Amino acid sequence: MQGETGIVASTDFSWSPLPNVQTYDLQLATSPDFSPEHIVYQAFDLQESTHTPVGLQLEESTLYFWRVQPSNSCLVGDWSIPSVFQTELSNCERLEATGLPINIPNSGPPATITSPIPVTFSGTISDLNIPLVNITYATDFYSLRLRSPQGEEVLLYREGECRDGNRLTIGFDSDAPTGLNCEDGNDPDLNDETRRRPVESLDAFNGDNTEGSWELELKVAENDFSSGVFRSWSIEFCATLEALSLLLINNDTLFVPPGQSNPLSRDLLQVEDSEQTLSPSAITYTLLTAPAHGNLTNFAGDILTAGSSFTQAAIDAYNIRYTHDDSNTTMDEFYFIAQDDNGAFYPTQRFLIVIDDDAVLNTDDPLEAEPLLRMFPNPARGTTTLQLVKPLDFDLPLKVYDLRAKLVTERILPQGSLQQQLDVSNWPAGTYVLRAGHEVLRLVVE
């Protein structure tokens, strides 16, 4: 699966089989850096080149990155270039019930508790979900129904559907990959806060109006003489969005002399939205892999690695540079995707770099033509003012160091800025170094 969009809830994975491979490992993450905090699913020792995850629930409006690693009894191969897909783009409005918790009595006739959520906005339903219901009571003895303002009902949970539990903390979603899955009526995981398919489909409400009082009815079928609590529930209305497509205008080769540096430029790498309505700062590139024989750096001098991002505006301003490591290599590359602020994305692409003795160093960098920043007063006591020569087309990181190279402060000069004040009243007297992109200034504090 590469570059697909509109994926709902879960998906299968498949890849081209490789010769002499015995097993594959698979990783799925929300960032191509595949750091532990971004990995959402892993599978190991897969013997086929296909895999169907169990229990995987994907978030809406999210880019996911996945890769596989082949191995046999002799060696472990490299991870594949990450593939990417996007889940369904949606805009959701979630509302929480008030007036809860309510106690479920342990005596008297079986209780029926109705909890309303008033909806004051009007709209046509295309997707309705119950993100979470939280009930402490024996799961054998009650049912749950959702009732619309028009009186239509959908059975979410039937008494006895799952037995031997005393806590229900799950959501209901007709697009969820799994149902209640109560083998022999038992389910120890009704308190795992995942979404399950209800007994009856919530799609029955599609086309109805949102406005009015929505009610969740908890109906006890048989009193088991133990008390409980109806703690909380919520409802969610979602609308599917259509993002504009992105167009790859340029993806040409960068030539760099051995051991030297050249910037990326608009004529080498350019992506636009199909309507040409977005500014270059709204187009973001994300690295899937970093160059192997050199470094990409941004305006702040930071080395860009897998998962790092930069904008089209940064490319247009010659702020993304490749520096060769002077090794005996003639080619390099990196893989990337592009996306905009509205959810559109362009799938995996390769950018080629050629190391050539005859390559020309780019001297058209506009940052070398004139200073970007001026600073006054300098020396300073209470405050000093940073004056930009022209409004910024991009966010500019500013870092201040003392002469021992210790970071004193950092901030972002936002796009459009012309002037910023820097408070130095609490700084010890001395000399400080200000770095803004490729520009370095010295400030004396008295």
Q: Is the pLDDT of residue 395 over 50?
A: yes
Task: Determine if residue 225 is left, alpha or beta; phi over 0 gives left, psi from -120 to 50 gives alpha, anything else beta.
Answer: left
The confidence band for 187, taking pLDDT boundaries of 50, 70 and 90, is: low
Residue 1's pLDDT is what? 65
Cα 52 to Cα 84: distance, rounded to the nearest angstrom? 17
- φ, ψ for residue 422, nearest 5 deg: -120, 120
Strands across the sheet containing 283-287: 254-256, 345-355, 331-340, 283-287, 309-311
**Residues 138-154: pLDDT tens digits?**
888 999 999 999 999 99
Cα 229 to Cα 172: distance, rounded to the nearest angstrom? 19
Q: Is the pLDDT of residue 367 over 90?
A: no
Q: What is the mean pLDDT of the chain?
A: 89
Residue 15's pLDDT is what? 95
- Whether the Cβ atoms of residue 400 and residue 434 lie closer than 8 Å to each other: yes
Choose among 431, 441, 243: nearest CA to 343. Answer: 243
- φ, ψ for residue 313, nearest 5 deg: -60, -35
What is the average pLDDT across 180-184?
A: 67
Residue 278's pLDDT is what? 84
The confidence band for 31, taking pLDDT boundaries of 50, 70 and 90, is: very high
Cα 111 to Cα 222: distance, rounded to the nearest angstrom? 9
Residue 89's pLDDT is what? 82
Cα 408 to Cα 445: distance, rounded to the nearest angstrom? 13
Q: Which ranges of 143-201 would DSSP assign to H, the alpha helix?
A: none
Q: Residue 24: which H helix or E strand, with range?
A: strand 23-29
Q: Is the pLDDT of residue 356 over 70?
A: yes
The confidence band for 366, taking pLDDT boundaries of 50, 70 and 90, is: very low
What is the average pLDDT across 126-130?
A: 93
Residue 130 has a CB neighbour count (10 Å cut-off) of 23
What domains does the chain contain, in order, with CATH numbers? 5-88 (2.60.40.10), 92-241 (2.60.120.260), 246-355 (2.60.40.10), 373-445 (2.60.40.3080)
Token pair recorded at residue 356? 């050539």
- Whether the Cβ atoms of residue 302 and residue 281 lie closer than 8 Å to each other: no
Is this model's pTM higher than 0.75 or not?
no
Token pair recorded at residue 204? 């029955």
Cα 129 to Cα 108: distance, rounded to the nearest angstrom? 33
The pLDDT > 90 percentage for the chain reads: 60
Residue 14's pLDDT is what? 95
Burial 81-106 (b: 16+ CB within 10 A, else e): ebbbbbbbbbeeeebebeeeebebee
